Structure 1
Amino acid sequence: MAVPRRREGSRPTFSQAMRRWGLWVGVFVVALGLGGWVVYRIYFAKPGVAIPIQQPSDYELRVGETVRYNSVPPTSGPYASATTDWGIHDRPIPDEIQVHMLRLGGILVQYRPVESPALEDPVAEGLKRLIGRLRTEHVEKYCKVIVAPYPRLQKKIALTAWGRLDAFDAEEITPEIEQRIMRFLDRLMDAYNPERAGCP
């Protein structure tokens, strides 16, 4: 006895409808998960890479005292009692002072300087302009930022906060790099500030 064929235009069977419905639910769940991951990365994830926290020593360091930090530049660990001014510096800042400034809730924006002072350095000039503008237009919000050279960098730019590091290469400060720096500042400035230090 021949099995009757389903006529064109007739309704799908219950199992076919369920498979089709399940496929659409699966696509929706994947899209929702991907969208959630993107939103998390943009709005909630901390920028940069997490660096294991080195505990401070039982005593404050003297400036120039040798310490083996677990990142370059340092992001935590023993620190000197001395501090430095926020803002733009033309000379490298000792590691042990950098760590103290991070402990106060600050951010360091450092760059690898060009080999000869006679050469132009568009990255250095761009960073100085950006941070100078931010500190002028938004005094309270961006008061705890330091820009300084750091000859030991492997990448051209390194952003540091307590326990976070974002190092990358650049030939100039583009709008994309400005956004990257701004996101680091906005998410991590004062994220760690056990001394509850305010702006000077």
Structure 2
Amino acid sequence: MRIRPILAAGLVLLATACTGGGDQATGQSTAPATEDAVPPEQRDRSVLIPGIEIKAYNDPQHVRAPQRVAYDESPPFGGTHDASWAACTGVVYTKPVRNENMVHALEHGAVWIAYNPETLPAAGVEALAKRVTGVPYMVMSPYPGLDKPVSLQSWGHRLKLDDPADPRVEAFVSALKQNRYTHPEPGAPCENPTFDQENPPPFDPAPAPDGSAPVGS
């Protein structure tokens, strides 16, 4: 199920909420003592972002390359994925990366910024790369054939945009990067020494063939 909020004040409320749960006067945390005490509306502030897509992915499975997953979204943002995750330690990939590896990075709490190299100007690519480079749990890559210049993914969440300077980019990252309530494996690493960042598993734009693993639900 997708949710498309139309709250005009969403970004203002989100920016306020994402500054943290601390008391600005005392510097002390005002967060509830237990996870169960956190109200649902505070667990996922991204629901306030206009245009956000949200979809539940339960019980994700692993595949091994070269097996494909029959993703029903492009770019995908959850579901079955490769057993090896794409390194997401603020890496800006210059080559398109296999979907199955990128989705595993989302499971670990990363935000993936994908862009269409044909429609996003070089200045926009550079601006987004500055947001990502060296930032833990951020990753960026070109995504040929993307229907918008920019698409942001976290586990179960996606936001497609025309403008890389759109304030919703920061709102999305602030709400969802390492948000322990919105991805399956809080605390999982983004480092992956076995993943070749210079020559990652290649992206395949062709539809997944018969016999590919189901994405799950």
> Could you say which TM-score interval applies, normalised by the shorter chain?
0.5 to 0.7
Q: How does 1:156-175 map to 2 (within 5 A)?
A: 156-170=149-163, 173-174=164-165
- Partner Cα separation in structure 2 for residue 41 and residue 78 of structure 1: 31
**Unmatched tracts of structure 2, length 5 or more:** 1-6, 15-44, 192-217
- Partner Cα separation in structure 2 for residue 104 and residue 155 of structure 1: 25
Q: Secondary structure at the match of 2:58?
A: coil
Q: How does 1:13-162 map to 2 (within 5 A)?
A: 42-44=12-14, 45-46=45-46, 47=49, 48-58=51-61, 60-86=62-88, 87-114=91-118, 121-132=122-133, 135=134, 142-162=135-155
**Partner in structure 2 of residue 31 of structure 1:** none
- Taking structure 1 as the reference length, the TM-score comes to 0.64
Instruction: Decide whether aligned partners of structure 1 residues 158 and 109 sit closer, same or farther in structure 2, where only a CA change above 3 A counts.
Output: same
- Partner Cα separation in structure 2 for residue 143 and residue 151 of structure 1: 25
Q: Secondary structure at the match of 1:146?
A: strand
For residues 119-142 of structure 1, the C-alpha deviation after alignment (integer angstroms, 9 at most, x for no partner) is 96222122112322xx4xxxxxx4
- Partner Cα separation in structure 2 for residue 39 and residue 124 of structure 1: 28
Aligned length: 147
Instruction: Decide whether aligned partners of structure 1 residues 38 and 74 sit closer, same or farther in structure 2, where only a CA change above 3 A counts.
Output: same
| 1:42 Cα deviation from its structure 2 partner | 3.0
Percent sequence identity is 24
**Which structure has more RCO (C-alpha within 8 Å, separation ≥ 6)?**
2
- Taking structure 2 as the reference length, the TM-score comes to 0.59
For residues 39-93 of structure 1, the C-alpha deviation after alignment (integer angstroms, 9 at most, x for no partner) is 55532541352332233555x2122422222321111110111122221110112
When Rg is computed on C-alpha atoms for both structures, the one with the higher figure is: 1
Larger helix proportion of the pair: 1
